[in-house]
Amino acid sequence: MYTTYAMTLATKKWTEGTRTQLVERVENWRQQQFPADKLPGNIRIRTRHSPDDEVYRLAVETTDVASSFKKT
């Protein structure tokens, strides 16, 4: 079973400054909640935030609901 938490924001009309601030804030949150050096094998993080894209997307997927991510 897959559990997915996702966020997609339309950024087509945003200024580059606004887009940069959003990417920095979300990336800081992601690093705090899901640090790469402590990420379990059953969790997958995907982002889409190229300046050429019309959206900013972050998806967190886990393959096993019973073994949820725990902060230590």
| DSSP single-letter state for residue 67 | S
Give residue 66's region: left, alpha or beta (phi > 0; psi -120 to 50): alpha
pTM: 0.68
**pLDDT of amino acid 37:** 92
Mean pLDDT of 21-50: 88
**pLDDT of amino acid 31:** 92
